[in-house]
């Protein structure tokens, strides 16, 4: 079976351990021929949701990663062998960086990769909130992440669908985490509690 077929099998195998949105995003990425990004997304979300992953699934993800040249951390995180598994925001930043690197957008790839590195580093809550503000700031103004279109001489590239899915996912994750951390942060600061 080819890589795409095995990646589709992975999504079917673990779909009951992911949210409906995660599954839809994975299928959208596979439909856009972004198999590597889809595998990274699935693995990251399994770790984020503390899913119980059996050895068969780990072997499948490992073989897909090896065949596609993905980072070892993608499959190692499923076994709990990495020091710190990336969270949703960091995973989405990494997936976007990887996609943009492959599609000839080095400036965006470097920026998002740098933010992903910051996102996995342990930091105080106020610094984490500031990082989320920075991520959300990427979507503002002309020339922002929302304006990016992947195109070549023949028009919009097929990877555009994957970019759209990952952009939307990152934005939703950053908004959710910022909103959640703001509520927790204000509760921690209330006097007399």
CA distance 26 to 165: 9
* In the chain, where the domains are located: 1-83, 86-193
CA distance 36 to 95: 9
Both tokens of residue 81?
A: 């062998």
Give pLDDT, residue 5: 84
CA distance 113 to 21: 24
pTM for the predicted model, two decimal places: 0.57
Q: Are the C-beta atoms of 47 and 92 separated by less than 8 Å?
A: no
CA distance 185 to 44: 26
pLDDT in tens, the chain (193 residues): 688 888 988 888 888 888 999 999 999 999 998 999 999 999 988 888 877 777 778 888 888 988 898 877 777 777 653 333 345 888 889 889 888 988 899 999 999 999 998 988 888 888 989 999 999 999 988 899 999 999 989 998 878 888 888 898 899 889 988 888 765 554 444 445 4
> Measuring CA to CA, which residue among 95, 177, 172 is closest to residue 131?
177
Q: Please list the residues that pair with 151 across neighbouring strands.
A: 156
Give pLDDT, residue 193: 46
Q: Which conformational region is residue 141 in: left (phi greater than 0), alpha (psi within -120 to 50 degrees), or beta?
A: left
Cα torsion 150, 156, 159, 161: sign: positive
Q: Are the C-beta atoms of 99 and 34 separated by less than 8 Å?
A: yes
Both tokens of residue 147?
A: 């304006």
């Amino acid at each position: 079976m080819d890589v795409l077929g095995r990646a589709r099998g992975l999504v079917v195998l673990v779909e009951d351990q992911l949210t409906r949105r995660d599954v839809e995003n994975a299928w959208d990425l596979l439909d856009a021929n972004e198999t590597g990004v889809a595998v990274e997304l699935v693995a990251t979300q399994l770790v984020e949701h503390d899913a119980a992953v059996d050895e068969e699934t780990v072997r499948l993800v490992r073989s897909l990663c090896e065949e596609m040249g993905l980072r070892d951390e993608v499959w190692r995180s499923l076994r709990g062998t990495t020091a710190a598994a990336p969270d949703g925001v960091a995973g989405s930043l990494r997936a976007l960086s990887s996609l943009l690197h492959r599609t000839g957008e080095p400036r965006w790839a470097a920026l998002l990769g740098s933010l992903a590195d910051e996102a996995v580093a342990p930091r105080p809550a106020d610094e984490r909130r500031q990082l989320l503000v920075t991520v959300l700031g990427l979507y503002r103004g002309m020339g922002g992440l929302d304006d990016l279109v992947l195109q070549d001489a023949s028009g919009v590239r097929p990877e555009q669908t994957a970019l759209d899915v990952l952009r939307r996912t990152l934005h939703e994750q950053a908004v959710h985490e910022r909103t959640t951390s703001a509520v927790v942060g204000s509760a921690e600061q209330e006097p007399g509690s």
